[in-house]
Amino acid sequence: SPRVTYPGAISGLAYQVTPGKRAMAIRVSEDQAVSRLIKPGDRIDVLALIDYTGGRKDALKVRTIFQDVLVLSTGLYISNSLPLIGLKVDEEVKKLNLNTYGNFNTITLELDPLQVQKVIFLNALGSQMYLSLRNNEDRSIDVIKPSKIYDVLEEDKEELKIFFEKIKEKDKNRASIGS
């Protein structure tokens, strides 16, 4: 079978993780991961839909959790996979399909230990995480305010607040009747 690296070479994902950082995989779908166009070596922002009220739509928030995060792998494909485009290689190596990044349902990110804890917490809460692809040269970290439904439906904000107030009032009435 063909060798991809020389014997004894230091390889694998662990050697790509920066000291002090951790590799953490998150499950993603096509709509959460830029149509699965993200590839190892890309930089992304991680956003989460947070529901801390148990389903009240008026209290849902979308928050940018992390910015400028390095993607270490997509599925089983890591960023040091050998590029095969334009190279003369054995047919056996071509059959390994080393440059296929689009068939994955997990993405491995390089995070610091506190960020890993936050991801675990968000997963435990059932929060959906979304990834937005950024230009690899854009390393800026911006202050981004969380978004609520009122921010999205700016023109209908007052109408929406009245609607949710009526729902809250009905819920209070039901609770007082039941007690």
Question: What sign does the dihedral 89-92-94-97 (CA atoms) show?
Answer: negative
Nearest residue to 123 via CA among 138, 140, 135, 106: 106
Report pLDDT digits (tens) over 101-152.
Answer: 557 889 999 999 999 999 999 999 888 899 999 999 999 999 999 998 878 8
Report pLDDT digits (tens) over 28-86.
Answer: 888 888 888 889 999 999 999 988 777 777 778 999 999 999 999 887 777 654 444 45
Token pair for residue 146?
């969380």
Higher pLDDT, 93 or 128: 128
**AA letter at 27:** R
Token pair for residue 122?
């968000």
How far is CA 103 from its chain centroid? 16
pTM above 0.75, yes or no: no
C-alpha–C-alpha distance, residues 121 and 128, integer Å: 12
Average pLDDT value for residue range 13-27: 92
